[in-house]
Amino acid sequence: MEKFVGVFLQSNGKYKAYIGINGKQIILGRFETFEDAKQARLEAEKRYGKPKQYRNVHEEIIGKKYPDSRLFVDGWGISQKNRTIYHCTCECGNKIDTSYDHLQRGKTKSCGCIRVEQSRQSIQQTYQKVDEIQKLSRIDGTSAITLNQKVSKNSTTNVKGVSKTKYGYRAYINVARKQIHLGSFDTLEEAKQARMLAEEKYYQPILDEFNERLNHNKKA
């Protein structure tokens, strides 16, 4: 098959002539014969000047799998912006059009399935970490990560573990899914103090154990 820079035999049997100017491909026409396409290219070189460097990128990549990617380059065409694009088939079967620049710089390595897989893997790793922390936090029937939860919006005192009653304030604490009554008090401050002492007694050992497990897990 005859070859000439800027002349490409299309699948329909016609010869396409083109020339690259300032990064853009200018279509010179599609011709029935190789000689007509070659002549059009030569005239364009006289008009625009012969490109200083030229590589027949089409021959280099079409019909092959592009290196370090999942894309097989099937052919090429011209975009609406009059730029060369390459028609590719991803290993997963999806079709995608991209530029040579994106292929060369590694910006396009697949139809997008790599990004989806990486996102799915990242989510899975996050769930695994959360699940691992939840398992480490379960100590003597109590989850350590729930001990520092904020005060409920429905709280009548805005103090965790203290509720207002008809006769004053009631303090309590939940441990291993059981509620321990800490006493009834005349003032909010007294109930709050009882709750703080209970947290020191019941919660602090659990939190210390949890932190120790986390540190050990990081070193492992």
Is residue 28 a contact partner of residue 18, using CB atoms and an 8 Å limit?
A: yes
Please write the tens of the pLDDT for every residue from 168-195: 999 999 999 899 999 999 999 999 999 9
Say if residue 149 is exposed, middle or buried (CB neighbours under 10 Å; 0-12, 13-18, 19+): exposed
Cα 88 vs. chain centroid, distance in angstroms?
Answer: 22
Q: How many residues does the chain have?
A: 220
For position 220, what pLDDT does the model report? 66
Q: What are phi and psi of 207, to 5 degrees?
A: -65, -40
Residues of the chain with pLDDT below 70 are: 1, 23, 51-55, 220
Cα–Cα distance between 165 and 187 in angstroms, integer?
Answer: 11
